[in-house]
């Protein structure tokens, strides 16, 4: 079924904190999708739509049938579950969010009766801060809320793009596609199970995989393309997990195998399957009338020396 066009979706641009700062654009009507993330005179980091931006044509439409672009929020689940009645990539990206400018930045939120999920984006120089709030809207003594979440920013990359870390980091495989399905685990990427401090994405040609960083999490995860870089700062103790999606033509949604995507995914749940994620304990079960907050910081810059300096400045966990 052809997606129906969204009726006049209005893009809101987050004011840059400086003339050369980060530029951010958001579509509140399409699940508060971030459609643009770039330095003022820099490259567009987010993958652009492969189909026209549109709202789902029906409640169960698969995420892969639509634009496959930008930065969405996966909540209250990541992968689908027929047993739990949960759809692919969750439900909040499927609906319009309210939006308002605040003294700090742009606040968007969605309320369903079961929960309130809010995100406030603040641009400060070459940094973007995303502050999140989740509240269980059930009255005191009511039902607990089972949930998982992942930030889902699809970055436009190619075989020359590099993934950089302050030091080696252990990862585990969640799922693989394309040529990776016939490979032994993730030996094509990191034979020892350790990602090296620098990985050239060309090794993933024809493959796609969803990975999770093992604890302790790397305090910074950076992507370098030519002379520009984007870095996720994971030092905030409110972040439980970080996923990594690498796709160099191994997964193409509904058949297009030309996708070249990378996603750094701060998350709660530690696995895409919600039936497993929900069993993770109290950190993924929110009591009635209670709330949880967390923060993600993203920094953009230019030049390998500046990125090297950023990576060298962090303290590696034991």
Q: How far is CA 206 from CA 37, 158, 246, 316, in A?
A: 26, 12, 11, 32
Q: Is residue 235 part of a domain?
A: yes
**Predicted pLDDT of residue 180:** 55
pLDDT tens for 61-116 read 999 999 999 999 999 999 999 999 999 999 999 999 999 999 889 999 999 999 99
Domain count, the chain: 1
Report the distance separating Cα 109 and Cα 87, nearest Å: 20
In a domain, 184, yes or no: yes
Would you say residue 208 lies in a domain? yes
pLDDT band at 14 (very low <50, low <70, confident <90, very high): confident
How many alpha carbons fall within 13 Å on the CB side of residue 10?
A: 6
pLDDT single digits (tens) 137-193: 999 999 999 999 999 999 999 999 999 999 999 999 999 887 655 555 688 898 888
Within a domain: 1 = no
Find the domain containing 96 and state its range: 12-313
Q: How far apart are CA 246 and CA 264, in angstroms?
A: 9
Q: Is residue 137 part of a domain?
A: yes
Q: Is residue 237 part of a domain?
A: yes
> Would you say 210 and 272 are in contact if contact means Cβ atoms under 8 Å apart?
yes
- State the CB neighbour count (10 A cutoff) for residue 109: 18
**What separation in angstroms does the CA of 308 have from each of 167, 187, 266?**
12, 27, 22
254-293 residue pLDDT tens: 665 579 999 999 999 899 999 998 887 555 799 999 999 9
268's enclosing H/E stretch is strand 260-268
DSSP character at residue 269: S
Residue 6 counted as domain residue: no
CATH number of the domain where residue 243 is located:
2.70.98.10
Residue 264 domain-assigned? Answer: yes
């Amino acid at each position: 079924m052809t997606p129906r066009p969204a009726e006049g979706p209005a893009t809101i641009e987050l004011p840059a904190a400086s003339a050369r700062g980060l530029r951010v654009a958001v579509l509140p009507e399409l699940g508060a999708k971030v459609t643009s993330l770039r330095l003022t005179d820099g490259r567009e980091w987010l993958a652009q739509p492969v189909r026209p931006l549109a709202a789902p044509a029906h409640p169960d439409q698969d995420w892969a049938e639509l634009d496959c672009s930008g930065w969405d929020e996966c909540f209250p689940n990541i992968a689908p579950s027929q047993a739990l009645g949960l759809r692919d990539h969750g439900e909040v990206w499927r609906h319009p969010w309210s939006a308002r400018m605040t003294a700090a930045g742009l606040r968007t939120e969605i309320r369903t009766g079961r929960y309130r999920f809010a995100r406030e984006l603040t641009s400060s120089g070459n940094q973007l801060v995303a502050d999140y709030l989740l509240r269980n809207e059930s009255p005191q003594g009511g039902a607990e809320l089972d949930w998982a979440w992942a930030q889902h920013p699809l970055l436009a990359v190619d075989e020359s793009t590099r993934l950089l870390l302050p030091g080696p980091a252990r990862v585990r495989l969640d799922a693989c596609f394309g040529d990776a399905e016939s490979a032994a685990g993730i030996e094509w990427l990191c034979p020892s199970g350790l990602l090296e401090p620098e990985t050239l994405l060309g090794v993933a040609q024809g493959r796609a995989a969803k990975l999770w960083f093992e604890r302790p999490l790397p305090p910074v995860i950076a992507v370098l393309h030519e002379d520009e870089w984007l870095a996720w700062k994971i030092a905030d103790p409110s972040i439980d997990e970080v996923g990594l999606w690498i796709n160099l033509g191994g997964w193409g949604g509904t058949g297009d195998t030309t996708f070249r995507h990378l996603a750094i995914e701060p998350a709660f749940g530690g696995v895409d399957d919600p039936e497993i994620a929900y069993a993770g304990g109290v950190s993924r079960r929110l009591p009635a009338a209670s709330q949880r907050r967390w923060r993600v910081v993203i920094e953009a810059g230019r030049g390998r020396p500046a990125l090297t300096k950023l990576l060298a400045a962090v303290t590696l966990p034991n």
